[in-house]
Amino acid sequence: FLFRFGRRFESPLLWQSIIMIITMLLMLKLCTEVRVSNELNIKRRSFAAADSKDEEIKAPPKRSYLDFDLNYFWHWSKFTDYVQCVLTFTGVTGYITYLWLDSSLFVETLGFLAVFTEAMLGVPQLYRNYHNRSTEGMSVKMVLMWTSGDTFKTVYFILNQAPFQFSICGLLQVFVDIAILLQVYLYSSYPQKPASHPAHPASAKAL
């Protein structure tokens, strides 16, 4: 999104980015609600200041300025904490972008990092499949839809001469999709061992 302030590109690509962000946030909200509802640990983790209390001994609420623990980064108990983190990150990067907007090197690097991050969304699922030697919960049809969508998007980038960051990272994303597709085929045909934790295909490319 911020990349467009430094280098103009087609509006459909901008809207695609906005829709993608909103979709990911909605999926993140759903995943957080499901995880917290099944969580036995009563310790609540948050990104920003929050009222904390020990539910076991009923201690009086204590106001902490910052309940931030790197060990629980991006593993908070409320969706609002994720929103606060995203807004903080956007504000900081937006200010830095404003200061360095005249630097073509910064703008091109910003664009590459942004699109590269999106291209890597499937890597955690790829690693989990490899670690568990299983693709339980995933289907060939679902991964084929991922691959076809990313392929169509990449072809669009190339044909419309989008900034090179889009084309390169789009090809990388297709490569990751194909790798996951091969895992689904191989592990379903030659199962190695059951997954220690069930795969969550709905959130694979979001978290």
Total of domains in the chain: 2
pLDDT of residue 204: 47
- Whether residue 183 lies inside any domain: the answer is yes
pLDDT of residue 55: 43
The answer on pLDDT for 101 being more than 70 is yes
The span from the CA of 87 to the CA of 69, in Å, is 18
Claim to verify: residue 138 and residue 87 sit in the same structural domain:
no
Claim to verify: residue 96 and residue 22 sit in the same structural domain:
yes
- Whether residue 165 lies inside any domain: the answer is yes
Helix or strand holding residue 199 (H, E): none
For the stretch 11-58, pLDDT in tens is 777 787 788 888 888 988 988 888 878 766 555 666 665 544 444 444
Span 69-75, mean pLDDT?
74
pLDDT of residue 4: 65
Residues whose CB is less than 8 angstroms from the CB of residue 194 and which lie 6 or more positions away in sequence, other chains included: 132, 134, 136
- Whether residue 85 lies inside any domain: the answer is yes
Residues whose CB is less than 8 angstroms from the CB of residue 1 and which lie 6 or more positions away in sequence, other chains included: 14, 17, 18, 21, 114
Claim to verify: residue 153 and residue 171 sit in the same structural domain:
yes
Burial of 60 (0-12, 13-18, 19+ CB in 10 A): exposed
- pLDDT confidence band for 178 (50 / 70 / 90): very high
Query: Which percentage of the chain shows pLDDT scores above 90?
Result: 7
- pLDDT confidence band for 205 (50 / 70 / 90): low
The answer on pLDDT for 99 being more than 90 is no
pLDDT of residue 54: 43
- Whether residue 182 lies inside any domain: the answer is yes
Claim to verify: residue 21 and residue 95 sit in the same structural domain:
yes
Claim to verify: residue 117 and residue 156 sit in the same structural domain:
yes
The mean of the pLDDT values for the chain is 76
pLDDT of residue 191: 59
Look up the domain containing 153 and give its range: 104-188
The answer on pLDDT for 175 being more than 90 is yes
pLDDT of residue 58: 42
84 contacts 50 by C-beta, under 8 angstroms: no
The span from the CA of 61 to the CA of 180, in Å, is 47
The span from the CA of 193 to the CA of 83, in Å, is 37
* Beta strands per DSSP E along the chain: 50-52, 62-64
